[in-house]
Structures are given as structure tokens and as C-alpha cells.
Amino acid sequence: MKDARAIVFCGVHFMAETADILSSDAQSVILPNMAAGCSMADMASIDEAQDCWDDIQSVLEGEGKVIPITYMNSTAAIKALCGRNGGLVCTSSNADSAFKWAYERGEKVLFLPDQHLGRNTALKMGIPEADMALWNPFKPMGGLTPEQIRRARVILWQGHCSVHTRFTTKQIDAARKDNADVNIIVHPECTRDVVQAADYVGSTEYIQNMIRKAPAGTVWGVGTEVNMVSRMAKENPDKTIFCLDPVVCPCATMYRIHPAYVLWVLEGLVAGLMINRIEVPAETKAQAKVALDRMLEIGG
């Protein structure tokens, strides 16, 4: 990878940005379809996030240090905001480690852009919901009073994953009614009530490993993106694996990298054309890399 001149990134826009941040200056990152994005990442623009940060600082006036954490599913500009303000990036695998890192350095956490991952991680750490506040970017001061901001230990950005919020406790109840021995496993981007009703909660990697290592004959109701569930079912034919959502809702933007787009940009490279190159501005790149490096340092 270090010797590659071009990196054709068959994923979503924010991950292609991350590849550009972490790759060398001699490398170019190409995204075959610029429409491949993430609705959650789009829920937090840098202007809105910067206004939020400034508003919080104006209220606190040094009373309590805030550490910003952004989920990987965010723009490079949001990652840069965290980097230049003493914060970091996290994944669903190491969100708890990121929170611990933050509380070693400050009294409050601003978590963007997924409120559910932030809430579920804080609850897992023993922080009561009464100590959390939800920031609505479409309202002055996030819809919060100065007292609510001062009191909150966690300020959650009002964003969510359109796929994971489709899962409900009714779906879990129906799965248990159909099979008393079913194991319910969900992603922490799901809502709090779904997470609390599940048997197991964890990242994509966690879900895959749990099911892969499970005994033959076990039954699994899974709360995550349907294409991943279908793939796990094919890879584990000795188990019964199904998606909790009977209507099934694939991520509309994630699957926009078709082979035709990949061929198009590859043929462009052969012809000496750099199509759909992802270029993060130098200052943003440097500040975002600080936040990403901190994430890599805590591991998890």
C-alpha cells in the first residue's frame, strides 16, 4: 500500500477522506462514485459543529474542560475540529476507550455525530442519562439552557444512523416469540431501548466474531445492515441467522460503488486521468490526523 501511486477506495466518502489523511503526499485517493456517502456524517456540518463548540465555550467560560469526540462516520473537517481542540476520533469498537481517555483530560464530552452510540457508551460507563444533554443544531444554543450545558457530563449531537434506528423492541419481542432460544445481537448505533433489550451489543467486528464462534445450531437475530447479515448467514450455514427488521433497509449510500464505476476510474488512470480524486485541504488534513493518531494510540 505504501508503494501505491493511487488508492481506489471502494467505500464511502468520509472513509476516502480518512485514507487521504493517513496516506502519503505521493499518493492519490480516488472515490469511484462521489455520491457514496453517509447520511449520519451529513447530519453534522463543520459550520454547525463550530457554532456548537463556540456556544458551549461561551457558556462554560473555563468552568469545565470539554473534550470533543467524533465517531469515524464524520467529515474530515469535523475530525479536524476535534484534533485542534484536544479531542479524538473513535470507532464503535473503541468508543468506551475514547470516553475514558477524554475523562482523564476533561470534565465533559461533546460527542458527534451519532447520539445513540454516544448515549449507549456513556450509559455503559455508568453515566446516567440525567447527566446527558442533546444538542439540536437547528435551535439557538442547541435548544439547551446554560444550566443544562453546565450540568451535562455528555453533550450528544442530534444525529443518527438511518438504518440502525429502524430496529425496535417489538422486532426483538417477535423474534423471541418465534424462537425462545434466539440470541439477539445489535450494533450500538441502535436506540437505547433496543440495546438494553438485546443479549449482546457490539461493533460490526464484534457481531461477526460472536456469530462465527457460536456453536452450531444456534439462532441469531441481528440488528445491523441487512447485507452484512445476509453475508454472515452464507458464511455460517450451520447457524440460523436473520435480520431483525422484516422490511429490511439497506444503506442507500453505502452501496453506490458499482463495478462500472471502478472500471471507469481505473481506465482513467491508464489514460493518465485522475477522476474523482479526494483531496483534504492541508490544514484540515494535519488537524484531523492529530485526532486520528490519538484514536490509533488508544487502540481497541
Q: Which residues contact 29 (CB under 8 A, 6 or more apart)?
A: 6, 7, 9, 16, 19, 20, 23, 277, 278
**Residue 184 CA from chain centroid, whole number:** 21
- pTM given for the model: 0.92
Query: Cell numbers of 145, please?
Result: 439552557
Separation in Å, CA 269 to CA 8, 10, 143, 183, 188: 10, 15, 49, 47, 39
Residues paired with 277 in a beta bridge: 30
For range 241-263, the mean pLDDT: 80
Q: Look at residue 300 and tell me whether its pLDDT is greater than 70.
A: no
For range 101-124, the mean pLDDT: 97
**Number of Cβ within a 10 Å radius of residue 248:** 15
Query: Cell numbers of 205, please?
Result: 467486528
CA distance 133 to 150: 10
The number of CA neighbours under 13 Å toward the Cβ of 266 is: 9
Residues paired with 241 in a beta bridge: 220
Among 67-71, 260-264, 288-292, which is the least confidently predicted range?
260-264
What is residue 227's predicted lDDT score, i.e. its pLDDT?
86
Domains and CATH numbers, the chain: 6-37+253-287 (no CATH), 41-161+289-298 (3.40.50.10800), 164-243 (3.40.50.10800)
Q: Which residues contact 203 (CB under 8 A, 6 or more apart)?
A: 91, 92, 93, 187, 188
What integer best gives the mean pLDDT of the chain? 94
- Model pLDDT for residues 12-29, shown as the tens digit of each residue: 899 999 999 999 989 999
Torsion (CA) 293, 298, 299, 300 in degrees, nearest 10: -140
Q: Look at residue 254 and tell me whether its pLDDT is greater than 70.
A: no
Query: Cell numbers of 78, please?
Result: 469535523
- 93-97 long-range contacts, Cβ below 8 Å, gap at least 24? 93/202, 93/203, 93/205, 93/206, 93/300, 94/295, 94/298, 94/299, 94/300, 95/69, 95/71, 95/121, 95/188, 96/121, 96/124, 96/125, 96/300, 97/298, 97/299, 97/300
Q: Look at residue 211 and tell me whether its pLDDT is greater than 90.
A: yes
Q: What's at 288, amino acid-wise?
A: A
- Model pLDDT for residues 58-111, shown as the tens digit of each residue: 999 877 899 999 999 999 999 999 999 999 999 999 999 999 999 999 999 999
Length of the chain: 300
What is residue 172's predicted lDDT score, i.e. its pLDDT?
97
CA distance 12 to 94: 20
